[in-house]
């Protein structure tokens, strides 16, 4: 039977340290409850001595959490341990996690002591913490740069003093997986009482090897992994727990270990942490990134359509991501992806000319990057009827401000071979522009999202605007680049309206939506 890997989450302690603004107790509790639902075994919820607010949040969380073991951090200082115990004592069971630097660099430059004094302090603090709980964890800070002889000595001494978990941190992300694995292996070979404690690891990502080091430690015998959701934490961050957890699950043939994690809660918990911590997830982030299950290469897309396992070693559903995988339509996409999307929209192969569609697709993909399904539908219609020109073009935009705060927006629009102009007054420019465009085109849409980005090309500043618009239950996307922010917004909206018009023609709705011009 496989052994269990204990998942120790420190999102609320080490992860929170990296945030620009500290989390309040309410947000910390929301994250703690999500972590409990995820199934983490131990959650380190704070450093109680650090501030009254941290003490209070640890106390509140310790009182609410029932299924995960709650842990608080303390230095090897009696008062730290007293305060941690006082905050945690409302919990039925709790852990006190104490730490002390063990590398020569830290001992000499930071603590101004010798190693004998360090061992004495560690042993005393473990025994002192045992007065409050049997569950005491000791961390050898900067273990990755601690001499192996000293590391073996302090691990053996703290286990003998009563520590039931020994943490071997790569505090500054210095070691490589091979080196880190050797450290863990040596501890098992040389520490006589090693079987009386769980060996844990806490790796940082300064050289991008936190997950690799953690996985190597598991293979060497470590049975607790410490980290954070999304890998947030000091400097470059911590071990991303979702990556280690899914590596254990996907490569069960290699590790022969398991966790108690509810895997389908991973994506949801990741999103909660990202939102409450105001830490966006990189699109290419493993497991939880927006592109983790997206495929752009034509070869990959063809393989995916034939068998998902060709290019996916885990499924979106396995982490609770309900929107599933996606085939990104870019200039690298092949005909198989185009055919897949056309069929998904209800078109048969004989409804369009694939050669013309593919050529038109490559052209627009080179211009705008990613192409969406509605673009493809529009292109299919345009290539079938030799109508490749946009219907709407901006001729003129005029914004007038009055001294009492009012704004009048006027837009002149080419609509096919005719020109139309309309105005709107108000105090919200974007709403006014949207209203004028609706009046002229008679296409009623809902503006769902508008994003502005500053771009610098050859020392010239441009404003890129991305808009998301809802029309009859479907989403359409527009993008434009201009030196003027309002012009860029107008043109991005016109891009959307052209796409909607083409789609409406395909569905024989042109006469309803554009009755002004028929």
Annotate 284-346 with DSSP letters as a single string: T-TTTSTTTTEE--HHHHHHHHH-GGGT-SS-GGGGT-TT--EE-BSTT--HHHHHHHHHHTT
Measure the CA–CA gap between 284 and 275, rounded to whole angstroms: 18
Q: Say whether both 272 and 333 belong to one domain.
A: no
Q: Are strands 460-471 and 474-482 parallel, antiparallel or unpaired?
A: antiparallel
Q: Which of 2, 6, 4, 3 is nearest to 201 (CA)?
A: 6
Q: Say whether both 157 and 64 belong to one domain.
A: yes
- Do 380 and 388 form a contact (C-beta atoms < 8 A)? no
Q: Does 62 reside within a domain?
A: yes
Written as tens digits, the pLDDT of the chain (518 aa) is 789 999 999 999 998 887 877 788 988 999 999 999 999 999 999 999 999 999 999 999 999 999 999 999 999 999 999 999 999 999 989 999 999 999 999 999 999 999 999 999 999 999 999 999 999 999 999 999 999 999 999 999 999 999 999 999 999 999 999 999 999 999 999 999 999 999 999 999 999 999 999 999 999 999 999 999 999 998 999 999 999 999 999 998 899 999 999 999 998 899 889 988 888 888 889 998 877 665 444 545 455 455 555 646 688 888 887 654 455 666 667 777 777 767 765 566 766 778 877 777 777 676 656 666 556 655 665 554 444 567 888 889 888 877 666 778 899 998 888 888 988 887 788 888 888 898 898 888 999 888 888 866 556 677 878 888 888 887 787 777 778 888 889 988 998 888 788 766 544 444 344 444 43
Q: Say whether both 480 and 336 belong to one domain.
A: no
Per DSSP, the three-state class of 134 is coil
CATH number, position 488: 3.30.160.270
- Do 47 and 13 form a contact (C-beta atoms < 8 A)? yes
Q: Say whether both 353 and 409 belong to one domain.
A: no
Structural domain including 170 reads: 3-277
Other Cβ atoms closer than 10 A to 369 = 12
Q: Say whether both 499 and 413 belong to one domain.
A: yes
Q: Does 383 reside within a domain?
A: no
Structure tokens given for 320 = 């609770």
Q: What is the length of the chain?
A: 518
Q: Say whether both 327 and 465 belong to one domain.
A: no
Q: Say whether both 333 and 450 belong to one domain.
A: no
Q: Say whether both 215 and 159 belong to one domain.
A: yes
Q: Say whether both 64 and 213 belong to one domain.
A: yes
Q: In degrees rounded to 5, what are phi and psi of residue 295?
A: -135, 125
Measure the CA–CA gap between 14 and 99, rounded to whole angstroms: 13
Count of domains in the chain?
3
Q: Say whether both 326 and 421 belong to one domain.
A: no
| pLDDT for position 315 | 80
CATH number, position 198: 3.20.20.70
Q: Provide CB contacts within 8 A for 457, sequence distance 6+.
A: none
| Sign of the Cα pseudo-torsion (373, 379, 359, 353, in order) | positive
Q: Say whether both 308 and 256 belong to one domain.
A: no
Q: Say whether both 438 and 306 belong to one domain.
A: no
């Amino acid at each position: 039977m496989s052994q269990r890997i204990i998942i120790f989450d420190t999102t609320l302690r080490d992860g929170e340290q990296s945030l620009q603004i500290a989390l309040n107790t309410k947000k910390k509790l929301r994250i703690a409850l999500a972590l409990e639902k995820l199934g983490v075994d131990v959650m380190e919820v704070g450093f109680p001595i650090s501030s009254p607010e941290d003490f209070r949040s640890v106390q509140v969380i310790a009182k609410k959490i029932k299924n995960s073991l709650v842990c608080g951090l303390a230095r090897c200082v009696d008062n730290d341990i007293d305060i941690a115990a006082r905050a945690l004592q409302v919990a039925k069971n709790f852990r006190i996690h104490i730490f002390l630097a063990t590398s020569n660099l830290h001992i000499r430059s930071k603590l101004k002591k010798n190693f004998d004094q360090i061992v004495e302090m560690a042993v005393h603090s473990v025994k002192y913490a045992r007065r409050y709980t049997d569950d005491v964890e000791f961390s050898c800070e900067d273990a990755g740069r601690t001499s192996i002889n000293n590391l073996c000595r302090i691990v053996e001494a703290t286990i003998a003093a009563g520590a039931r978990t020994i943490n071997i941190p790569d505090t500054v992300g210095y070691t490589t997986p091979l080196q880190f694995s050797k450290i863990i292996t040596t501890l098992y070979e040389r520490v006589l009482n090693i079987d009386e404690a769980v060996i844990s690891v806490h790796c940082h990502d300064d050289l991008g090897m936190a997950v690799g080091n953690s996985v190597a430690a598991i293979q060497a015998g470590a049975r607790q992994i410490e980290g954070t959701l999304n890998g947030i934490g000091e400097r470059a961050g911590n071990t991303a727990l979702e990556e280690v957890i899914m590596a254990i699950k996907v490569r069960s043939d290699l590790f022969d270990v398991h966790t108690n994690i509810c895997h389908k809660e991973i994506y949801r918990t990741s999103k909660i942490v990202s939102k409450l911590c105001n830490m966006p997830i990189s699109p290419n982030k493993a497991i939880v990134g927006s592109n983790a299950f997206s495929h752009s290469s034509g070869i990959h897309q063809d393989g995916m359509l034939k068998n998902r396992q060709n290019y996916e070693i885990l499924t979106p559903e396995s982490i609770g991501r309900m929107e599933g995988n996606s085939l990104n339509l870019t200039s690298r996409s092949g005909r198989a992806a185009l055919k897949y999307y056309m069929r998904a929209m209800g078109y048969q192969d004989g409804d369009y000319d694939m050669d013309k569609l593919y050529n038109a697709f490559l052209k627009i993909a080179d211009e705008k990057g990613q192409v969406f399904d509605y673009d493809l539908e529009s292109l299919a219609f345009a290539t079938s009827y030799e109508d490749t020109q946009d219907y709407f073009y901006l001729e003129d935009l005029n914004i007038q401000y009055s001294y009492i705060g009012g704004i009048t927006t006027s837009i002149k629009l080419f609509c096919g071979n005719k020109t139309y102009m309309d105005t709107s007054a108000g105090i919200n420019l974007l709403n006014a522009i949207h209203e004028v465009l609706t009046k002229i085109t008679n296409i009623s849409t809902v503006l769902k999202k508008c994003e502005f980005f500053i771009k610098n090309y050859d020392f010239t500043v441009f404003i890129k605007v991305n808009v998301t618009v809802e029309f009859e239950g479907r989403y359409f996307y527009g993008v434009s680049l201009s030196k003027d922010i309002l012009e860029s917004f107008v043109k991005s909206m016109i891009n959307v309206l052209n796409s909607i018009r083409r789609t409406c023609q395909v569905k024989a709705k042109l006469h309803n939506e554009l009755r002004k011009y028929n």
